[in-house]
Amino acid sequence: MSPHTAAALRAGTWTVRSGRTTAAFEVRNFGVNRVRGTIGVRTGTVEVHDGAVTAVHAELDLGTLDTQNERRDLDLRKPNLLDSAARPVMTFTATGARRQDDGWEVTGELRLRGTSCPLTLTVERVTGTRVRATGTLDRAPLGMRVPRAVIGRYVRIDVEAEFEPPS
C-alpha cells in the first residue's frame, strides 16, 4: 500500500503547525503584473475517521497579509477590499472531501468580510505530515469593490501545511 492511500491516514484530529504553515496567493494586477503575497495561518484542523477526511477547518490572520509592498498591503486591508480592521479573520470550512488520484479534492466555504464563497482545493501529500493544497478563488462573490482591471477576479491559492498527527 502506498503512503498516499487513504488508509495511511491515522484516525483523529490532525492540527496545523502554524509556524510551519503558509498560505500564499497570486492575483493579476492591472491585467499584466502578478502580485504574490502570504497570509498567516492562525489555526487549522483536519479530522480523519476510518481513513477518510471528515472535516477541515482553518483560520487565517488577515493582519499578517504581506505582499512585500507596504502601501499595497495597507490598500488591501481597507474596508472595500479585505476589511481586516473590522474582520481580521478569514476562515475555510470543508463541506466535503473525496479521494482523487494520490490526494484529495476538498470542497468548502471561504468566509471573508461577513460573506462567503465556494472554494475547491486539490490536496496532495508531500511527506507524512506535510500537504500542499491549491485552488482558484473567484473574489466576485465576496463583494470586494474594485475594478477587475485593477485587481484580477481570480486569485490562485497555494497552502503548504505541516500537521501535528493525532496522539
Identify the band that residue 3 occupies on the pLDDT scale cut at 50, 70 and 90.
very low
Identify the band that residue 167 occupies on the pLDDT scale cut at 50, 70 and 90.
confident
Q: For residue 38, give the C-alpha cell.
A: 502570504
Whether 3 maps to a domain, the answer reads no
Residue closest to 73 by CA, chosen among 43, 47, 82 = 82
Q: How many domains does the chain have?
A: 1
Whether 149 maps to a domain, the answer reads yes
List the beta bridge partners of residue 160: 22, 132
Whether 90 maps to a domain, the answer reads yes
Whether 4 maps to a domain, the answer reads no
**Which domain does 60 fall in, by range?**
9-164
Eight-class DSSP state of 114: T
Identify the band that residue 156 occupies on the pLDDT scale cut at 50, 70 and 90.
very high
Whether 145 maps to a domain, the answer reads yes
Query: What's residue 148's pLDDT?
Result: 63
Whether 79 maps to a domain, the answer reads yes
Distance CA 37, CA 24 (A): 6
> φ and ψ at 126, to 5 degrees?
-95, -45
Residue closest to 161 by CA, chosen among 141, 132, 136 = 132
**How far, in whole angstroms, is CA 80 from its chain's centroid?**
21
Whether 1 maps to a domain, the answer reads no
How wide is the angle at C-alpha 136 spanned by C-alphas 81 and 132, nearest 5°? 115
Query: What's residue 140's pLDDT?
Result: 87
CATH of the domain at 70: 2.40.128.110
pLDDT digits (tens, 9 = 90+) for 95-152: 999 998 889 999 999 999 999 999 999 999 998 899 999 999 998 898 887 766 678 8
Q: How does the average pLDDT of the chain come out, rounded?
A: 90
Distance CA 55, CA 133 (A): 15
